[in-house]
């Protein structure tokens, strides 16, 4: 029996599935907290050289106010430099009696040095971040960019390692292993005395939360019947958006980075309760010959859904094998013909750009005018209607045109937001355009995820999706690097994001429309085995196909 037929008999989205699906979706909330916490724990408050430590005893400046100290000792518009203290004070020690402010400016304008006694950070928006606690500014600013890239490198590792291990050892144990690693890494990171301890733990956080999230996402789609898989995927991502928004509220209330790190980590303990309720994937159990365990799960699900299952079904149930392949398939099969190569690289590039722009816009909310907490919350809120529209439209109008339109919308909105002059009157308009960009890229990210699963042939689908996921993680690694382009020009990062989104959207015109068509089974279904890059492989494929056809013909 086909596995999907069993799910229809069992109840595609019955009480059993709804409870477990909600349980799995709750992890998406926590996953979002860890995916985006660097926006707040790594935020860079306004700062300047510390003047309170200056030794001014014995000079006319001894009792000068803090405000006057800033004017006298700090160059205007510069946060990383101060006037040389010895030069400023030399005149007073020699008996100068003129205007203090004029004297300090006249003598110090020719001698500027880096901050001598550390930095003073604004407490207006943040009480303490890793930037302010470890003084990661000026010459040490690279640590923040490195932290973000290290985290996404961890996500890349987690996607690869947990994906392979969950296929081998099962979804359930890898989910709990990911939760345990996340709890340990997050706790140690919250007590890190320096960046040398924080960075390895932050890498592990990225690996653990991504690995557990991907396993949870897979479980959520394997719990439900075929009619609800698209719905399950988008709803699971909507819970991620809820985590996006709630993180803004938590960060607003908890402005110390160590306490915030603890607050997003300790709830992971609650997922240990899932040990008694969360089942292993029935599909995985059947595919690995664990028929007894699969029968127990199916029986429990049927009982909870109020459905009776014929015992004979367990004997006839088979793992779904859409294609009886005569050989194993590898990465080269994704690119060894012109049509497959164009399809594969197009999808992978779209994944990379979508991830780059999505996380670039998410991490950039602290640079927008207004409250960073409100901006971040809005950026999460716009994702929910984006997912809702996808659920309503994709089965009616197809996938390709919504993908193209959403990427164009996101790209053009990003560019327009930076073409508007920056002033108090246009701040709101710039934020609106940035959020429209976030709306568009969220929708396109969700659509390309679905399209990739439908466009890659069955025999190379796991390989193609695996490379796509790696491409997305590379996009995440590049996002903080691209954001640093604002050092060259403040509007440059969003202009680059917008331009890449438009380019990727234009390339999407070359993708076939998968809606309403049977899923391709082999690379030959994509291109008929023609136009091979590797001629030798193609000849073997065509020869094998011809031999099979001759064997199937009846003897004359």
pLDDT band at 108 (very low <50, low <70, confident <90, very high): very low
Most confident of 30-34, 294-298, 323-327: 30-34
pLDDT for position 519: 65
Find the DSSP H helices in 319-399: 338-363, 372-381, 383-397
- CA distances in angstroms from 173 to 86, 163, 166, 168, 454, listed in the order given: 64, 12, 8, 11, 28
The whole-number pLDDT of residue 542 equals 41
Please work out, in degrees rounded to the nearest 5, the angle formed at the alpha carbon of residue 53 by the alpha carbons of 47 and 59.
125
Segment among 57-66, 194-203, 541-550 with least mean pLDDT: 541-550
Residue 91 pLDDT > 80: no
**424 vs 363, higher pLDDT:** 363
Which of 263, 258, 260, 288 lies closest to 172 in space, CA to CA?
Answer: 288
Report d(CA 406, CA 321) in Å as an integer: 35
8 A C-beta contact, residue 137 and residue 131: yes
Tens-digit pLDDT profile for residues 286-317: 777 787 888 888 888 888 888 887 776 766 66
Task: Compute CA distances 540 → 123, 327, 334, 493, 544, whole Å.
Answer: 68, 12, 16, 48, 6
- How far is residue 438 CA from its own chain's centroid? 13
Contact 14, 304 (CB under 8 A): yes
Q: Is 121 helix (H, G, I), strand (E, B) or coil?
A: strand
Query: What is the Cα–Cα distance from 109 to 439, expressed in whole angstroms?
Result: 48
pTM of the model: 0.79
Question: What is the tens place of the pLDDT at every residue in 531-544?
Answer: 344 434 444 444 44
Residue 107 has pLDDT above 50, yes or no: no
Contact 307, 14 (CB under 8 A): yes
Structure letter (DSSP) for residue 83: E
pLDDT, position 347: 92
With pLDDT > 70 as the criterion, what percentage of the chain qualifies?
A: 80
Higher pLDDT, 88 or 504: 504
In three-state secondary structure terms, 78 is: coil
With beta carbons less than 8 A apart as the criterion, state whether 376 and 248 touch. Answer: yes
Angle at CA 260, nearest 5°, toward 255 and 261?
145
User: Is the per-residue pLDDT at 213 higher than 80?
Assistant: yes
Query: Residue 159: which of 215, 106, 203, 83 has the closest Cα?
Result: 215
pLDDT classification of 54: cutoffs 50, 70, 90: low
> What's the confidence (pLDDT) of residue 556?
31
CB 344 within 8 A of CB 334: yes
Mean pLDDT of 408-434: 84
What is the four-CA torsion angle of 197, 201, 202, 204, rounded to 10 degrees? 150
pLDDT of 55 > 60? The answer is no
Helix crossing, 229-253 with 195-223: angle to 10°?
A: 150
């Amino acid at each position: 029996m086909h596995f999907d037929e069993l799910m229809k008999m069992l109840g595609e989205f019955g009480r059993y599935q709804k409870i477990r699906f909600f349980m799995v979706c709750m992890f998406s909330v926590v996953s979002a907290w860890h995916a985006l916490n660097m926006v707040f724990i790594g935020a860079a408050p306004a700062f300047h050289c510390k003047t309170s430590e200056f030794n001014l005893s014995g000079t006319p400046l001894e009792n000068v106010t803090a405000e006057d100290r800033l004017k006298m000792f700090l160059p205007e518009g510069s946060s990383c430099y101060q006037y040389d203290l010895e030069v400023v004070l030399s005149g007073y020690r020699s008996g100068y009696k003129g205007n203090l402010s004029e004297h300090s400016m006249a003598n110090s304008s020719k001698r500027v040095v880096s901050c001598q006694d550390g930095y003073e950070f604004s407490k207006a928006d943040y009480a303490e971040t890793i930037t302010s606690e470890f003084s990661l500014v000026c010459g040490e600013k690279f640590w923040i960019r490195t932290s973000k890239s290290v985290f996404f490198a961890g996500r890349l590792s987690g996607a690869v390692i947990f994906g392979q291990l969950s296929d081998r050892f099962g979804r359930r144990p890898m989910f709990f292993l990911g939760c345990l690693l996340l709890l340990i890494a997050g706790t140690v990171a919250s007590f890190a005395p320096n960046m040398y301890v924080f960075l390895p733990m932050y890498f592990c956080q990225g690996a653990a939360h991504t690995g557990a999230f991907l396993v949870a996402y897979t479980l959520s789609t394997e719990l439900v019947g075929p009619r609800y898989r698209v719905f399950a995927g988008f709803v699971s991502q909507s819970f991620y958006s809820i985590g996006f928004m709630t993180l803004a509220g938590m960060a607003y209330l908890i402005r110390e980075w160590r306490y915030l790190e603890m607050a997003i980590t300790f709830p992971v303990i609650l997922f240990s309760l899932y040990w008694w309720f969360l089942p292993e994937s029935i599909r995985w159990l059947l595919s690995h010959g664990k028929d007894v365990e699969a029968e127990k799960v199916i029986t429990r699900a049927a009982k909870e859904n109020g459905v009776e299952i014929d015992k004979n079904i367990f004997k006839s149930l088979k793992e779904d094998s859409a294609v009886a392949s005569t050989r194993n398939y590898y990465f080269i099969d994704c690119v060894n013909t012109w049509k497959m190569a164009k399809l594969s690289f197009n999808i992978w590039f779209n994944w990379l750009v979508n991830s780059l722009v999505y996380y670039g816009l998410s991490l950039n909310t602290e640079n927008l005018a207004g409250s960073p907490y409100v901006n971040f919350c809005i950026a999460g809120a716009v994702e929910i209607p984006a997912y809702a529209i996808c659920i309503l439209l994709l089965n009616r109008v197809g996938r390709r045109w919504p993908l193209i339109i959403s990427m164009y919308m996101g790209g053009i909105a990003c560019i327009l937001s930076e073409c508007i002059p920056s002033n108090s009157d246009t701040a709101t308009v710039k934020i609106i355009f940035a959020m429209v960009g976030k709306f568009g890229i969220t929708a396109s990210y969700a659509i390309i995820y679905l399209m990739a699963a439908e466009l890659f042939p069955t025999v190379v689908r796991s390989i193609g999706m695996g490379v796509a996921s790696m491409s997305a993680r590379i996009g995440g690694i590049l996002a903080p690097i691209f954001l640093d382009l604002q050092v060259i020009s403040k509007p440059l990062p969003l202009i680059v994001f917008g331009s890449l989104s438009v380019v990727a959207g234009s390339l999407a015109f070359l993708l076939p429309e998968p809606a309403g068509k049977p899923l391709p089974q082999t690379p030959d279904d994509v291109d008929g085995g023609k136009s091979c890059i590797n001629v030798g492989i193609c000849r073997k494929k065509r020869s094998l196909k011809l031999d099979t056809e001759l064997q199937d013909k009846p003897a004359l």
